[in-house]
Amino acid sequence: MGTEHEENEPTKGDDPSQQDAVSIADVSVEVATVDHTLQKLRRMYRKTRRKPKGLQRLWVRLLNIPHLAVIIAAVVFVVVVIMWSLLWVFIFRRESNSGVYFAGMFRVANVEFIPEYRQAESLEFVSMANKIQHVVSNVYKMSSVARLYKQAVISDLSNNNKGGVLVHFWMVFVVPRLKSTAVCEECVGAIFKDSVHTSMKNRSSVGYLLGLPVDIDSILINAVQRSDYSSNGAGSQCVDKLYANLPGTSVPLNVFSSWGVTCHVKLTAVPGSLIRLTVSSFLIEPSDCVNDALTVYDALLPMRGRILHRLCEPVSTSFSLVSTSNVMLLSFRMTNGNKVFRGHFEAIAEEICLSQIETQLKPDISGQIYSPFYPSLSPPQCACTWKFKTPGRNLGVALHFQNYVLKPKNLKACDQGWWRINEIIFCGNYVGHQTTFRISDHSPEVEFRCSSRNSAQPFQASYSSYNISQPCPESHFLCSTGLCVEKSRRCDGLDDCQDESDEVFCSRPTKNCGGKSPLHPLFVCNGESDCNNGRDEINCTQETTCSAIRYQCNSGSCILKKNAKCDGVYDCRDRSDEADCVCGHPSVVKKVVSPKGQERIVGGDNSVEGEWPWQVSLHFSGNLYCGASVLSSDWLISAAHCFSKQRLSDPRFWSAHLGMLTQGSAKHVAEIQRIVVHEYYNAYTFDYDIALLQLKKPWPPSLNPLVQPVCLPPTSHTVTQSHRCWVTGWGYRSEDDKVLPSVLQKAEVSIMSQTECKKSYGPVSPRMLCAGVSSGERDACRGDSGGPLTCQAPGGGRWFLIGIVSWGAGCGRPNLPGVYTRVNKFTSWIYSHIS
């Protein structure tokens, strides 16, 4: 370092101020003395001789390490600046002008359709398309978005049920990022409609754009993805067009793929007809529409507002659906692997659904009414009217539905069917049981309208007359489902009404242990000695007629023993009751007695490792959102409400943490392949609050016993006094808690009767179950949803999943228990999906 100092020390001759001083001196003493001149020359000579030395020094200085770093940095900086500018000019600037794509349709009225329009290569098509293209371009070039408008491409001209030509077109705008709101979907649609509107004459809905008659009511413009345009638009490799020109003849549709493809099939039928598409089978990998999907549109372009149906699950039983006009588009997205679609389509006549019906005197079933196009799914905007007449003023009309219920309309919109019955509005809803709806009028007019924007499930109802003053026959009880059941069935422990209305507000059943009369069915073979003489628990494995409270063996025969499954005893002759019993058997790794009152679910304790091996923590976008339970090596069970909103239903955002005691220390984190939400889940009432999750890959068997399935209760399973039931989860420990516990919490709760539950909450469905303690101090809370309520059979038996955390008023409030999904009501639904 010392040398540096020396080098830097300016020598006298180097000092510029001194140099100046010398030259001034030179002038003044130039002619003074020779000596002086010689001295000066010598000094100048010295100066010139030093120059190369200075350069050398400059090099040395430049090559000195810290200087070198500065220079390299400067050079790198300059290069980066240049490159960045080039990138910005040539790539980013171009990209920040992005393409915005639209698909649209409208009807050109008063123009005769000619078959040549069907061929995009024909001269007729080209000339018509050019004309329309010019008109569309003109509209946008005269508008506020003129500078952003790029082009319109006419994709299809088809004949139309309303006459004229139906035009489908694409539109592209090139928009700087910052201005992207200028071409919003509504704005682009409004520009087109406005220009038609201003040119409308008389009272008709047709306006003239450069002489082209456009029907304003037919205009629909939707924003689409660039990929929709590139896969479906001009030049795409995989677009097929099929035409059904004779009503009733079916055109086969078979699509095979083993490579990942996006393909479109455009269907058109003779004008005046509709298209019925029948799907016979569809072999794909289920993935909640993430990978494989078929989307059916009520148009010839993939327009969001015109989706009839989406298929993301494999189909093995055939079904059909109907369009609202004579066009339909099938958009297939299939990933690698052998994917097969089989089906056909046909042109069918438009249907006017209006009928006059006379019912018979006898209250037997007189006939059937059907949703439009039954058994096909009904198209949007469908409608039907039935005018009934009964044989007498004292006779009303009863409608018996298989899986549908009518309720008076409230503030919420009807989304599963809209009904007007003698001027009163009702909403329809799909449910999992039968109902009867009675109209106390002898000549009612019943109007039905589809209210969903997509295809709707079909329904069927039988009708009959009924006596208005006495709806049910003598000795029968009127259920709130409208069904009539024999009075003797009230309070018999069986849900005869299908909504348990015959089983509430029953006095505690008497056991009849001594008497001759039969024992109350609830006490028979429930695994608990209710009678001192043991009468209630004998001959429990004898085969008998089947009902919901009897255990059904694989062979189909039933036994009286309710909790026969996996109890360690062979009860069925085929021994099926002890098959598949690797479940609900935790082996706690180490016992820890947790100090009371430290940590709680609400009023709970810390669990220990391996205590609840079926417990799963479900994370949405990386954060705890719900609980779940392990059912098998690749299926979990949880609550539907965890997945009910748009983003929440995408399996890619979820992960399942298995074998975990403390948050963040899962033994296994699994990705989710698909989420199956119960089809009757009702987001307002939380009815049918159940969902299944399939894992992308099964969890490794080596995780057992820290990861293990819980046992699934058979429909007949009953929880008795001697069962012990616990709710577990990582949810909040009190209603206004702000931090989630890190250790899995557990709290023992008791199952309440449905009557008690209804005292707290009013209407709770038969698919709900209340559990808690009357003080309320032990409960589930936010974050526990979807998690398990498990009960252990007396005598250290296996643990069964009895409930799924669903809802509650607050958390841990007195007399407001937690409400759980009653799992044994869903046993066959669950098996139908997981096996």
Q: What is the rounded CA–CA span in Å between residue 739 and residue 130?
A: 65
Q: Which residue is nearest to ligand ARG (CB)?
A: 808
Residue 624, number of CB atoms within 10 A of its CB: 16
Which of 264, 400, 442, 641 is flagged as catalytic?
641
Between 386 and 625, CB nearer to ligand ARG: 625
- How near is the Cβ of 746 to ligand ARG at its closest, in Å? 14
Between 268 and 760, CB nearer to ligand ARG: 760
DSSP structural state of residue 744: P
> Angle of helix 65-87 relative to helix 34-63, nearest 10 degrees?
60
Residue 744 CA: distances (Å) to CA of 76, 702, 709, 728:
54, 22, 17, 7
Q: Which helix (H) or strand (E) holds 186?
A: helix 185-198
Q: What is the rounded CA–CA span in Å between residue 280 and residue 317?
A: 6
Q: Which helix (H) or strand (E) holds 280?
A: strand 273-283
Q: Is 619 a catalytic residue?
A: no
Which of 292, 689, 779, 784 is flagged as catalytic?
689
Burial tier of 101 (Cβ tally within 10 Å: 0-12, 13-18, 19+):
buried
Among 103, 675, 710, 811, the residue binding ligand ARG under the rule CB under 6 A is 811
> Angle of helix 123-141 relative to helix 185-198, nearest 10 degrees?
100
Which region among 202-210, 269-277, 780-788, 792-800 touches ligand ARG (by CB under 6 A)? Answer: 780-788
Nearest to 343 by CA among 466, 408, 250: 250
- How near is the Cβ of 759 to ligand ARG at its closest, in Å? 16
CB-based contact 330:278 (threshold 8 Å): no
Which region among 89-97, 440-448, 759-767, 800-808 touches ligand ARG (by CB under 6 A)? Answer: 800-808
Residue 807 contacts ligand ARG per CB under 6 A: yes
Which region among 74-82, 180-188, 392-400, 781-789 touches ligand ARG (by CB under 6 A)? Answer: 781-789
Q: Coil, strand, or helix at residue 639?
A: coil
Residue 795, number of CB atoms within 10 A of its CB: 9
Phi-psi region of 568 (alpha: psi -120 to 50; beta: other; left: phi over 0): left
* Start-end of H helices in 730-801: 754-761
Q: What is the rounded CA–CA span in Å between residue 295 and residue 675?
A: 19
Question: Max Cα separation, the chain?
Answer: 155
DSSP structural state of residue 536: G
Between 704 and 734, CB nearer to ligand ARG: 734
Q: Which helix (H) or strand (E) holds 126?
A: helix 123-141
Between 70 and 683, CB nearer to ligand ARG: 683
Residue 780 contacts ligand ARG per CB under 6 A: yes
Among 164, 343, 458, 808, the residue binding ligand ARG under the rule CB under 6 A is 808
- Considering only CA atoms, give the Rg of the chain: 39
DSSP lists the bridge partners of residue 791 as: 725, 800
| Phi, psi angle pair for 78, to nearest 5° | -65, -45
Among 389, 449, 453, 782, the residue binding ligand ARG under the rule CB under 6 A is 782
CB-based contact 339:291 (threshold 8 Å): no
Between 807 and 826, CB nearer to ligand ARG: 807
Which region among 70-78, 243-251, 514-522, 805-813 touches ligand ARG (by CB under 6 A)? Answer: 805-813
Q: Is 240 a catalytic residue?
A: no
Size of the site for ligand ARG (CB under 6 A): 13
- How near is the Cβ of 121 to ligand ARG at its closest, in Å? 58
Residue 805 contacts ligand ARG per CB under 6 A: yes
Among 378, 785, 790, 824, the residue binding ligand ARG under the rule CB under 6 A is 785
Among 188, 638, 779, 803, the residue binding ligand ARG under the rule CB under 6 A is 779
Residue 485 contacts ligand ARG per CB under 6 A: no
CB-based contact 386:330 (threshold 8 Å): no
Which region among 327-335, 413-421, 774-782, 796-804 touches ligand ARG (by CB under 6 A)? Answer: 774-782
Residue 687 contacts ligand ARG per CB under 6 A: no
Which region among 246-254, 424-432, 475-483, 778-786 touches ligand ARG (by CB under 6 A)? Answer: 778-786
Residue 781 contacts ligand ARG per CB under 6 A: yes
Q: Is the peptide bond before 375 cis (omega within 30 degrees of 0)?
A: yes
Residue 629 contacts ligand ARG per CB under 6 A: no
Residue 458 contacts ligand ARG per CB under 6 A: no
Q: Is 230 a catalytic residue?
A: no
Residue 691 contacts ligand ARG per CB under 6 A: no
Residue 784 contacts ligand ARG per CB under 6 A: yes
Which region among 559-567, 629-637, 742-750, 776-784 touches ligand ARG (by CB under 6 A)? Answer: 776-784
Nearest to 630 by CA among 726, 708, 713, 716: 708
Residue 783 contacts ligand ARG per CB under 6 A: yes
Nearest to 248 by CA among 266, 227, 269: 269
- How near is the Cβ of 292 to ligand ARG at its closest, in Å? 31
- How near is the Cβ of 811 to ligand ARG at its closest, in Å? 4
DSSP count for the chain of H helices, then E strands: 10, 42
Between 418 and 681, CB nearer to ligand ARG: 681
Which of 629, 716, 785, 806 is flagged as catalytic?
785
Positions 704 through 743 that interact with ligand ARG (CB under 6 A): 731
Q: Which residues are catalytic?
A: 641, 689, 785
Per CB under 6 A, residues contacting ligand ARG are 731, 779-785, 805, 807-808, 811, 818
